[in-house]
Each structure stands twice: as C-alpha cells, then as structure tokens.
A = this chain, B = another copy of it.
Amino acid sequence: MSMTGEFSSKQLTIVGLGLMGGSLALALREHAERIVGIDPNPEARAYAIEQGIVDEATDQLQAGVSQADTVILCAPVTTVIDVVKNRIGAYLRSNTLLIDIGSTKKDICEVMGRLPIGIHAIGGHPMTGKELSGITASDKMLYVQRPFVLCSTRRTTPATRIRALALVEALQALPIEMDAARHDRVVAAISHLPYLLSISLVATVAAEAENDPAVWQLAAGGFRDTSRLAGSDLKMMTDILSTNTQAIATLLAMFRVQMGLLETKLISQDSDKLLQALAPIREARLTWATRKTTT
C-alpha cells in the first residue's frame, strides 16, 4: 500500500451501498483494482454489480473486509458506531485504512480509537449530498470540489493521514482537517440547527393549520426552501441528533438569543432599528453565497 502520492488500492471495500457509497465507488473506480460492496439489501447489491459500480457484493461483513486494504463505512452514524465497536476490529488486516463518512464525528472517532493497533482509522465527513437517495442516484461527481472533513483518532498515524488525504484528493474533494469535537460544533451550527428550525417550522404550520387549513394552500417558495430539510431521512437525523446533543443544545440557545434580539426590535415597532439590525445579517448571507459560487 502506497503511503504517498496518488491513492491506490488492491481491494477497496465499501460498507453501505447507498447514494454516498455508490458515488464513492464510481469516483474511485480508476484507483482500485477491485471494489467490494457490502449491503444487507439484495436489490442494492444486484444493482451495484449490474452497473459495474462494484466488482463483488456481499452481505457478510467479515468476508467483505478481510482482504481489503481500504474500507469506507457509508452508513448512518449509529450503524458505523456499532460496526466499529462490536465487529470490524477482528476482521481487518493490519495496515488497513478505515474511514467513515458519518455526519457526526466525536462518538465515531472515539470508538475508532479503541480498534486494534495497526488499523489506520480516521473519521471523515464529506459536505455533499443530493435530494435523491439510494444507490440508483449514485454520481461520480458528488464529491468534486466539496469540503471533505478528516478527523484524527487515536489510531491515526502520520501514514494514515497521508493515505486519507490521497483518497480525498482522488475524489477531487477539498480536504479540511479538524478535531472531531470542533467538527461536531460546526455542523451543529450549519446542518443540525437548520434541520431543527425546518422541522419546528413545519410543526408550527401544522399546528396553525388546525385553526386554518389555508396555510397549506398558500404556502409557496419561501416555505418550501425553509422547510426542505424537514423531509430528511428520519433514521439518519435521529442518529445525528442523538450523537451531537450538547453542541446542538448550545446552538439552539444561541439561536434563541438572536431570534429574541430581532423580535424585541420587531415588537418595539421601530422599523429603522429593525432594518439596521437586519442589514448586516443579510450582508453576511449574501457574502457567503457569493463566495460559495466563486469557489
């Protein structure tokens, strides 16, 4: 296994053949001699084989990972934790690179740190996605130019880092290294808080609909965008929320403060002060959006 330069693998195993796993397989096709997919769902396995996304597919974890030099766990957070904590350590060869793509990192990196010495384990979180899910939505460009966070564990050596960075580069993603606690706080702000706002908005509109069903009829583009995340997969979201509770609770408290400041200006009926408060926030949003489209 090469520790520098371009990423290459004799056997790359992807655990979880969904949108993220399927897209990883497509993007790493040229870098791996053999790709094995593991998934309990026979339809996902059959599709992955038919489309040439993987060379082999199995529902057996041990059989699928024991010959791999690289294993990527593409499953919801609590599944990743379960696999790492209870099963995979005994199956992996020494020197295997183990990476995951779970949405929270502290708990995962913690259990990765308890794997046998010799396993190269590092946490990963690519900041990408799609409306659609499932392996049929796989897209080899899904990771291109998107941030890919890497979080070290107690089983991350310098060689682990170099190989993980090479993998991220092979995806044409943008590597960002930070510790797991910092990652979880950041995503609490930019992902988990937005989700909770979105779902609480829908809950509020649903409560209001009991007084007046016209809310559903008149809801248009503004509601659609702000409530989109409320449609997120439930298993994925409860996994995320339950493994990042403290950071999320902190961000909710910060959010209440900001909402309260604006509400105070609103209720005091001073339009000038309200406008002065809103202007720099709007500016921050526009600056971010401009920067995003130019990178």
Contacts and interface: CB of A to CB of B under 8 A. Distances in A.
B186 A194 contact: no
Given A234-B278, A258-B200, A176 B217 contact: yes
B225 A249 contact: no
Nearest to A212: B186
A267 interface: yes
B222 A279 contact: no
Q: Size range of the interface on A?
A: 35 or more
A222 B230 CA distance: 10
Name, among A127, A222, A256, A262, the residue most crowded by chain B CB atoms within 10 Å (CB to CB).
Answer: A222
Contacts of A194: 201, 222-223, 225-227
A116 B224 CA distance: 40
Contact of A262 (B196, B226, B242, B269): B196
> Counting chain B CB atoms within 10 Å of each CB, which of A129, A190, A259, A279 scores highest?
A190
B266 A241 contact: yes
Interface in A268-295: 269, 271, 274-275, 278-279, 281-282, 284-286, 288-289, 291-292
A254 interface: yes
A105 to B, nearest CB: 12
A170 interface: no
B202 A190 contact: no
Q: Tell me the dominant secondary structure on chain A's binding face.
A: helix
Contacts of A187: 218
A267 B254 CA distance: 16
Contact of A197 (B226, B241, B249, B285): B226
Interface string A103-139: 0000000000000000000000001110000000000
Given A127-B220, A218-B190, A262-B196, A241 B274 contact: yes
A201 B255 contact: yes
A281 B226 contact: no
Interface stretch (A18-26, A36-44, A203-211): A203-211
29 contacts: A176-B214, A176-B218, A185-B208, A186-B212, A186-B214, A186-B218, A187-B218, A189-B215, A193-B205, A194-B225, A196-B266, A197-B197, A199-B262, A199-B278, A199-B281, A200-B259, A200-B262, A202-B284, A203-B281, A207-B258, A216-B288, A219-B288, A225-B225, A226-B226, A231-B285, A232-B282, A239-B271, A241-B271, A249-B263
Interface of A: 127-129, 146-147, 149, 176, 178, 182, 185-187, 189-191, 193-208, 212, 214-232, 234-235, 237-239, 241-242, 245, 248-249, 251-252, 254-256, 258-259, 261-263, 266-267, 269, 271, 274-275, 278-279, 281-282, 284-286, 288-289, 291-292
